[in-house]
């Protein structure tokens, strides 16, 4: 990663990784390749900061097609499972990192463990105000008689938060 100019903290996502079935490629081969690839991911995820793995594809596009590119799925096109589906499901259950949900904070407006809400930012109102100021400047440059009077500036509306 350093050779590419990326730090070790940049996560790597493995996406659209798969192995098709079809002519010359059996379903048992797909299962074997899947187990090998997912195990390699698990072995190196800490070393190279690999954080996500996605298998391509869940379902075949056309299981009866002689074109293997239509058969990457873990399921047949009628949603019946291939042997690799059960293997992938077992590996996900075994290797997934699950973090428990965070406990609610005891501090809050009602003291009941609910975190306090921060007021919403007024970005849309600020954008509207800037847009109106720009339009006023443009109108003044096109027609000097339409210059805004001194002391009259567009002001953003006050944001109201729900709560």
Q: Are 20 and 33 in contact (CB under 8 A)?
A: no
- Structure tokens, 136: 């006023």
Closest to 25 measured CA to CA, from 17, 34, 14 = 34
Per-residue pLDDT band for 29 (boundaries 50, 70, 90) equals very high
Q: Supply the pTM of this predicted model.
A: 0.58
The answer to whether residue 138 scores a pLDDT higher than 70 is no
What are the helix (H) ranges across the chain? 27-44, 83-95, 123-142
For residue 1, the model assigns a pLDDT of 65
Closest to 155 measured CA to CA, from 140, 142, 136 = 136
For residue 129, the model assigns a pLDDT of 67
Closest to 161 measured CA to CA, from 97, 116, 108 = 116
């Amino acid at each position: 990663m350093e050779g590419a100019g990326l730090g070790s903290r940049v996560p790597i996502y493995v996406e659209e990784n798969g192995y098709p079935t079809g002519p010359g490629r059996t379903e048992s081969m797909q299962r074997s390749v899947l187990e090998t690839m997912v195990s390699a991911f698990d072995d190196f995820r800490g070393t190279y900061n690999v954080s996500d793995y996605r298998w391509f594809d869940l379902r075949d596009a056309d299981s009866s097609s002689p074109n293997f590119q239509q058969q990457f799925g873990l399921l047949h096109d009628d949603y019946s499972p291939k042997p690799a589906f059960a293997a992938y499901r077992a590996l996900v259950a075994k290797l997934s990192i699950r973090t428990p949900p965070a406990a609610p904070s005891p501090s809050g407006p009602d003291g009941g463990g609910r975190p306090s809400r921060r007021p919403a930012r007024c970005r849309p109102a600020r954008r509207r105000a800037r847009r109106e100021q720009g339009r006023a400047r443009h109108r003044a440059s096109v027609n000097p008689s339409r210059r805004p009077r001194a002391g009259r500036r567009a002001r953003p509306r006050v944001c109201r938060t729900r709560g």
